[in-house]
Amino acid sequence: MTVKKNFGLPVNTLCAAAFILGYGAYLGASTWFYFLAIAGVAFAFDFDAKVKASFKQAGFIAAAAWAVGKIIDIVMTLFLQVFEVDVLGTFYKLLGKINSIYGLVISVVFVGLAAMAILGKNVNVKALDELASDSITCPKCGAPAAEGTPFCGKCGTKL
């Protein structure tokens, strides 16, 4: 279990909070302010790298999930405008059920990620970490390394 703390809080708790705040941001536009404000604090006060990564991932997942949900809503709205509901009511009901199931899946994803963070499981998604990272880090100790450096300056691991 991670023992490093930021502002007196365990890293695992802060990572879980990032995913819960990300879920809140997905649910409503007004909660994006809180998510971004708390993420800003985590970055401004140089919190643990796992906390920062959790905020990046939660924000990316929330934004992507919100966008897909909006696309589903737009398709349903266009369907209502173009077709009479009586003509293809079954298809419209199916779209409604897909939208409901989609919301449930996103809820399960965020709660699952928060639970994994509390349990100390590694919730980092490698592709998102690489996308968000500006520098190379050592795979063993996590220390930053300069481009083209063959070995880690901290632990000596081959990069």
Q: pLDDT at position 130, please?
A: 53
Using a 10 angstrom Cβ sphere, with 0-12 exposed, 13-18 middle and 19 or more buried, the burial of residue 49 is: middle
Q: To 10 degrees, what angle do helices 49-82 and 89-118 make?
A: 170
* Beta-carbon count within 10 A of 123 CB: 22
**pLDDT per position in the chain (159 positions), as tens?**
444 557 777 888 888 999 999 999 998 878 888 899 999 988 888 888 888 889 999 999 999 999 998 888 888 788 777 776 655 667 777 777 888 899 899 999 999 999 988 887 765 555 455 544 556 778 788 787 776 778 888 888 887
* Beta-carbon count within 10 A of 117 CB: 26
Q: pLDDT at position 84, please?
A: 64
CA–CA separation, 159 vs 150, rounded Å?
5
pTM, rounded to two decimals: 0.66
Q: pLDDT at position 85, please?
A: 60
| Residue with the two structure tokens 């199931």 | 101
Q: Where are the domains of the chain?
A: 5-124, 125-159
